[in-house]
Amino acid sequence: MLPELKIQQLRYVITVVDEGGFNAAAKRVHRTQPALSMAVRELEQRLGQNIFERGGKSQLTPFGKFCLPRFRELLGQHDRLVKDVVSQADGKQGHVHIATVPSVATRIMPPLLAEFIERFPDLTISLHDENAHYVCQMVAHGEVDLGITSLWQGEGELEYTHLFEDKVGVVCHRSHLLASRSSIDWRSLQGEKLIRNGTSRLLMGTDASALVENSAFYISNMISLIAMLEAGAGITTLPKLAFPEHNQNLCFKPLQEPDVVRRIGLVKARNCTLAPAAQIMEAFLLKSLRGGEK
């Protein structure tokens, strides 16, 4: 059976050599000289060989000279490992994977992640831009640590924390008659060519559900949807964050009746402990985004 080596005893041996004697080493490690000598002697007994010559206790034996570089190597590996483990536990090192819906990825995350990286420079981040359903799937399957999404229905394996509400409005070409209005109700949209998109289901179950059911088109891709709107092919409804705010040809008008919002929240796997780095990210996102309306 191999003897167990105590890290502190190895450190004492190296300190004796580096300080040139037991008395100086004892002062360095804040121990009494007899206590330090006893610890070294216990190590020698475990190994079955003297490390220091008995005539001059600060002089290494041939066996001690063999051990010294190996003790230094072992202590170096030990200290590096401890540093890495502590840094990981403190969240000072690590990698965080996040998935978000596209509107949050482009409108909200850039300044937030810039601030986060400045505060935690040793943490690295992967940001995945996916639709709401796939964001939930990625979290549930363990592909990412955290997700920011709009949940259509509760997911049993996910834990959801509400962050903010994103108001839904009507998007149309600036030349459209609706563009002159400050706000719009669903009755004003009757007879309009509504182009459905992935967020149109937010209107279902409201007074405006008939508009969705009788819509002329369905387009899931945002680039194609914007092209159709710019061509004057119809109007659509979008959450405010999903509206391309720098587009010169389109405008966003709040939908007042019904007053519809998209709920955005943070999701993580239920009954599963996040890695320390992900815990820091979770706390940062909750503090930065929780509450309010976008």
Q: What is the pLDDT of residue 259?
A: 87
**Predicted local distance difference test score (pLDDT) of residue 210:** 83
Integer Cα distance of 202 and 198 in angstroms: 9
Nearest alpha carbon to residue 96 among 115, 120, 124: 124
- Where do the H-state alpha helices sit in 214-251? 222-230
pLDDT at 78: 86
The mean pLDDT of 251-274, rounded to a whole number, is 89
CATH of the domain at 264: 3.40.190.290
Closest CA to 293 of 246, 239, 252, 243: 239
Whether 205 has a pLDDT exceeding 70, the answer reads yes
Q: What is the mean pLDDT of the chain?
A: 88
pLDDT attached to residue 155? 58
245-266 exposure pattern, b = at least 16 Cβ within 10 A, e = fewer = eeeeebbbbebbeeebbbebbb
Quote the CA–CA distance of 209 and 240 in Å, as a whole number. 19
H/E element holding 139?
A: helix 132-140
pLDDT > 90: what percent of the chain?
A: 55
pLDDT for the residue numbered 11: 92
Of 189, 178, 238, the residue nearest 213 (C-alpha): 189
Domain, as residue range, for 30: 7-90
Instruction: Give the H or E element holding residue 185.
Output: strand 184-185
Q: Would 294 be classed as within a structural domain?
A: no
Any domain includes 285: yes
* pLDDT interval class at 133 (50, 70, 90): confident
The pair of structure tokens assigned to 211 is: 């508009």
Q: Is 76 inside a domain boundary?
A: yes
CA distances to 116, 167, 173 from 234, in Å: 40, 21, 8
Q: Is residue 238 located within the same domain as residue 150?
A: yes
Strand-pairing partners, residue 202, are: none
Are residues 38 and 166 part of one domain?
A: no
So what's the pLDDT on residue 293?
A: 59
Same-domain status, 15 and 136: no
Same domain membership, residue 107 and residue 81: no
Q: Are residues 274 and 246 in the same domain?
A: yes
How confident is the model over 189-210, as a mean pLDDT?
A: 86
| Cα separation, 174 vs 264, whole angstroms | 28
pLDDT of residue 292: 59
Give me the torsion for CA of 252, 253, 255, 256, rounded to 10°. Answer: 150
> Which residues lie across from 185 on neighbouring strands?
257
Residue 243 has pLDDT above 70, yes or no: yes
For residue 80, what is the domain's CATH number?
A: 1.10.10.10
Let me know: does 166 contact 108? Beta carbons within 8 Å. no
Task: Tell me what pLDDT residue 117 has.
Answer: 92
- From first CA to last CA, the distance across the chain in angstroms is 66
The pLDDT of residue 268 is 94
Q: Are residues 12 and 109 in the same domain?
A: no
Summarize the confidence of residues 237-265 as an average pLDDT: 90
Residue 230 has pLDDT above 80, yes or no: yes
Asked, for residue 1, whether it belongs to a domain, the answer is no
Q: What is the mean pLDDT of residues 117-123?
A: 90
Contact criterion met (CB below 8 Å) for 49 and 61: yes
* Residue 207 confidence (pLDDT): 84
Per the model's pLDDT, the better-predicted residue between 232 and 91 turns out to be: 232
Q: What local confidence, expressed as pLDDT, does residue 173 receive?
A: 94
- Both 86 and 98 in one domain: the answer is no
**What is the rounded CA–CA span in Å between residue 273 and residue 279?**
9
Instruction: Judge whether residue 153 has pLDDT over 80.
Output: no
Reported as a single tens digit per residue, the pLDDT across 47-104 is: 999 999 987 668 999 999 999 999 999 988 888 888 778 777 776 778 899 999 999 9
Q: Name the residue among 120, 55, 52, 56 with its Cα closest to residue 278.
A: 120
H/E stretch holding 97 reads strand 94-100
18-22, 56-60, 144-148, 237-241: least confident range: 56-60
Q: Label residue 184 by pLDDT band (50, 70, 90).
A: confident
**pLDDT the model gives residue 55:** 74
Please indicate, yes or no, whether residues 143 and 266 belong to a single structural domain of this protein.
yes
Distance CA 115, CA 110 (A): 9
DSSP character at residue 26: H
Q: Name the phi and psi angles at 285, rounded to 5.
A: -65, -40
- Judged on CB neighbours under 10 Å (0-12, 13-18, 19+), 77 is exposed
In a domain, 128, yes or no: yes
pLDDT confidence of 127, banded at 50, 70, 90?
very high
